[in-house]
Amino acid sequence: MEIQLLSFMDGLHVGEPKQAVELWILGVNNRSGAVQYAMLSPSLQKQSRRKFEQNHWVTGQSSPWVSNFRLTKVEKLSESKLRYTVKYDLETSYKNFGSGQKIIIVEKNLEPFREYWFISSITTKYNQWEAFTPAETVLK
């Protein structure tokens, strides 16, 4: 099983920073911890793997869910590091629970022959209605 996971993760390495954020968002929308995990930096993977495993690689909750993700700002921090501001809505079939915002730092792996982009940090402001993913830092 470990070989399958490593092959899956290698297959998801992305060549553009925005792709890392978009693929992570796809993982959030589909509640796929495996896709989210594949977009993380090696150190963030190490930090959060146990939590992903405890949840059987499923993230989020049935209600309210996140929707309408929007990349609202991109800041170049260096040649190999960008900061994305991502806004989204929290909703159910009967009510809107407001909106949220995440700050996602994306970095380029600079190892020779293994250049790809990954997420090194996800910071979210606490919202009592939101389910957070294992790799996020939640600010109260």
CA–CA–CA angle 93, 122, 32 (5° rounding): 50
Q: How far apart are CA 8 and CA 11, in angstroms?
A: 5
> What are the residues facing 138 on neighbouring strands?
124
The per-residue pLDDT for 135 is: 95
pLDDT tens sequence across 34-43: 999 999 999 9
Please, what are the domains in the chain? 2-139 (3.10.450.100)
Cβ-contact 34, 48 below 8 angstroms: no
Tell how far CA 42 is from the center of its chain.
13
CA–CA–CA angle 106, 98, 83 (5° rounding): 15
The per-residue pLDDT for 77 is: 98
Regions of the chain with pLDDT less than 70: 1
> Residue 2: which residues within 8 A CB-CB, separation 6 or more?
none
105: left (phi over 0), alpha (psi -120 to 50) or beta: beta
pLDDT tens sequence across 50-75: 999 999 999 998 889 889 999 999 99
The per-residue pLDDT for 12 is: 80
Q: How far apart are CA 123 and CA 120, in angstroms?
A: 10
Sign of CA dihedral 125, 59, 97, 83: positive
The per-residue pLDDT for 1 is: 62
From 73, 88, 74, 78, select the one nearest 136 (Cα to Cα): 88
> Residue 94: which residues within 8 A CB-CB, separation 6 or more?
none
